[in-house]
Amino acid sequence: MAKTHAQTTINGEHVEFLCEPHESLLEVLREHLGLTGTKEGCLTGDCGACTVNMDGRIVCSCLVFAAEAAGAEIDTIEGVARDQKLHPVQQQLLEHAGLQCGICTPGVVMAAKLLLEHNDNPTEQEIRYYMSGNLCRCTGYDKIVRAIQAAASEIRAGA
């Protein structure tokens, strides 16, 4: 079968890959490119575990064909920490115990990071609405929301 060839940018680096035309971006990230930080959850776009940033928007990578990534800029959890330094969202999730099993965490980080890039002082309600597509079955959200609020304070203080 004819494979699709795609050139894309992932975490700032030029990447080329071959994929089946109907393979998802999630499958290619995990199975072809070894970027297993992005998690597979529901495969129906409900849980947000597979959230990545595509051209400045968060998307469920299970609902994107890998072929669509051609020419796009993709950011995944692997590109969030810089020079061994965690992003404030990551650091605060650790400090607030905003994770237990950790499966939802990469998606939570990708979504919260973009939220704070657009709004570094969101209300609790704004956080909860924005994060409604990231399901967590362990912590019950409260700690996640507090971690995001703390990360927002940290970002505001550093700005």
Partner 1 sequence: MQEVRYERPTTIAEATELLAQSNGITKILAGGTDVLVQMRINSQIPSLILDVKHIPELRELRIDGDGLLLGAAVPSVELGESAEARKGYPGLVEGAEYIGSSQIQSRASVGGNLCNASPAADTVPALFALGAECRIAGPDGERTVPVEEFTTGVTTSCLQKGELLVSIRIPDPAAESSSAYLRFTPRNEMDIAVVGAGAAITLDKGGTCTAARLALGAVATTAIMVPEAADALVGSKIEESDLAKVAELASAASKPITDRRGTADFRRHVSGVLASRTVAAARDRAKAA
Q: Which residues bind partner 1 (CB under 8 A)?
A: 1-2, 4, 20-22, 24, 43-46, 48, 51, 54, 57-60, 62-65, 67-68, 70, 111, 115, 129-134
CB of 84 to partner 1, least distance (A): 29
CB of 137 to partner 1, least distance (A): 15
Beta carbon nearer to partner 1, 23 or 79: 23
Beta carbon nearer to partner 1, 70 or 138: 70
- DSSP assignment of the chain equals -PPEEEEEEETTEEEEEEE-TT-BHHHIIIIIS--TTSPP--SSSSS-TTEEEETTEEEEGGGSBGGGGTT-EEE-GGGTSBTTB--HHHHHHHHTT--SS-SSHHHHHHHHHHHHHH-SS--HHHHHHHGGG---SSS-SHHHHHHHHHHHHHHHHH-
CB of 130 to partner 1, least distance (A): 5
